[in-house]
């Protein structure tokens, strides 16, 4: 599906002659229409750097008749025999139970170990038939980035299937988002009829500092027990310092530790270039230690249970 075409040359920094390269991804069939995603790239000829010898300069989504439904240009900076930053993108059909669209995944180098990727959902415009956007592919949001990964689908697959979230109607994309000690599984709900994607849950929890947008989510954590044979954590009855007296629970290297969930504040921050999705300060983690359940939240207790801070 798709191919690469060398189109010409362009002037880069320091007199470097950059080649124009075009890659087509498609056709991608959405709602009975066929679309092609065109990746217009710049290439530094003769570069031996597989990561920084090429970068994305423009992206277009065209229909079967060649009409452009969406386009975006990207800045780039030639450096030596390559580029200071390298941007690439892939396109896949996004298939849900309630609708279908296109998923664009962007990847930039250099990046942090858990960063560098962002995701953008496109779908057919849902609105009045008289609208000039009727029948057009439109973005549901700006590119969404996070310290983590999209769980749905795998690289190289033609179709990415949406997933479901318990007690939440609609199609969902699940993201694995890093807190600093463990991953929280965040659902983003796709509202095809509103041309929108956003946080699946809107929550409010009363705290000593007033109401805060704290929700409970699923977690993924990998325990790395301490070298000491025995330590302890302060296990709270609820995810709140002001509720009751925490129990001091012993944690051994061979303790049976289960990670049951987390209460966190999801931060959804939008600027001119995209949306940043992150976890707020002071996440609480629900655990079961040798049959005893409760909540922990300090770095001291995370370390004691085998989840030291990283990243």
Q: In total, how many domains does the chain have?
A: 2
For the entire predicted model, the pTM comes to 0.90
* Residues 158 and 136 both lie in one domain: yes
* Residues 197 and 144 both lie in one domain: yes
* Residues 48 and 157 both lie in one domain: no
* Residues 97 and 39 both lie in one domain: no
Domain boundary among 84, 112, 142: 84
Q: Output the pLDDT for position 152.
A: 95
What is the C-alpha separation between 133 and 12, in angstroms, rounded?
Answer: 36
Adjacent-strand bridge partners of 185: 176, 218
Tell me the backbone φ, ψ of residue 219, rounded to 5 degrees.
-135, 160
Q: Output the pLDDT for position 15.
A: 56
Adjacent-strand bridge partners of 246: none
Residue-range definition of the domain harbouring residue 18: 1-84
* Residues 99 and 77 both lie in one domain: no
* Residues 214 and 234 both lie in one domain: yes
Give the three-state DSSP class for 43: strand
* Residues 71 and 101 both lie in one domain: no
What is the C-alpha separation between 197 and 49, in angstroms, rounded?
Answer: 36
* Residues 150 and 277 both lie in one domain: yes
* Residues 267 and 223 both lie in one domain: yes
Residue 54: how many other CB atoms lie within 10 Å: 23
Domain boundary among 84, 104, 124: 84
Residue 34: how many other CB atoms lie within 10 Å: 13
* Residues 208 and 280 both lie in one domain: yes
Residue 228: how many other CB atoms lie within 10 Å: 10
Q: Output the pLDDT for position 2.
A: 53
Please name the residues in contact with 271: beta carbons below 8 A apart, sequence gap of 6 or more. Answer: none
What is the C-alpha separation between 50 and 221, in angstroms, rounded?
Answer: 33
* Residues 41 and 158 both lie in one domain: no
pLDDT of the chain along its 311 residues, tens only?
A: 555 454 444 545 455 689 999 999 999 999 999 999 999 999 998 777 878 899 999 999 999 999 999 999 999 998 888 899 999 999 999 999 999 999 999 999 999 999 999 999 999 999 888 888 888 999 999 999 999 999 998 877 899 999 999 999 999 999 999 999 999 999 999 999 999 999 999 999 887 778 889 999 999 999 998 888 889 999 999 998 888 899 999 999 999 999 999 999 999 999 999 999 999 999 999 999 999 999 999 999 999 999 999 87
From the number of C-beta atoms within 10 Å of its C-beta (0-12, 13-18, 19+), residue 82 rates as buried
What is the C-alpha separation between 157 and 303, in angstroms, rounded?
Answer: 38
CA 250 vs. chain centroid, Å, equals 36
Domain boundary among 60, 84, 108: 84
**168 and 156 Cβ atoms separated by less than 8 Å:** no
* Residues 30 and 143 both lie in one domain: no
């Amino acid at each position: 599906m798709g191919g690469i075409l060398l189109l010409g040359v362009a002037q880069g920094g320091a007199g470097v002659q950059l080649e124009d390269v075009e890659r087509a991804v498609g056709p991608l069939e959405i709602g009975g229409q066929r679309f092609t995603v065109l990746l217009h790239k710049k290439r530094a000829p003769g570069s031996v750097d597989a990561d920084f010898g090429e970068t994305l300069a423009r992206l277009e989504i065209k229909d079967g008749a060649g009409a452009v439904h969406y386009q975006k240009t990207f800045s780039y900076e030639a450096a030596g025999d390559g580029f200071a930053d390298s941007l690439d993108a892939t396109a896949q059909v996004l298939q849900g139970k309630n609708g279908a669209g296109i998923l664009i995944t962007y990847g930039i180098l250099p990046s942090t170990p858990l960063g560098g990727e962002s995701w953008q959902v496109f779908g057919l415009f849902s609105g009045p038939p008289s609208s000039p956007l009727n029948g057009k592919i439109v973005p549901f949001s700006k590119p969404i980035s996070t310290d983590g990964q999209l769980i749905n689908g795998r690289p190289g697959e033609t179709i990415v299937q949406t997933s479901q979230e318990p007690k939440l109607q609609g199609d969902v994309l699940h993201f694995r988002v890093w807190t600093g000690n463990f991953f929280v599984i965040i659902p983003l709900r796709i509202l095809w009829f509103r041309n929108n994607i956003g946080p699946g849950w809107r929550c409010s929890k009363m705290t000593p500092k007033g109401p805060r947008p704290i929700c409970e989510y699923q977690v993924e954590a990998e325990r790395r027990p301490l070298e000491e044979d025995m330590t302890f954590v302060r296990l709270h009855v609820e995810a709140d310092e002001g509720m009751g007296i925490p129990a001091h629970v012993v944690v051994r290297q061979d303790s049976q530790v289960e990670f049951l969930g987390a209460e966190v504040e999801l931060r959804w921050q939008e600027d001119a270039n995209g949306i940043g999705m992150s976890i707020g300060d002071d996440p609480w983690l629900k655990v079961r230690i040798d049959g005893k359940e409760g909540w922990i939240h300090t770095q001291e207790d995370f370390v004691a249970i085998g989840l030291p801070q990283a990243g």
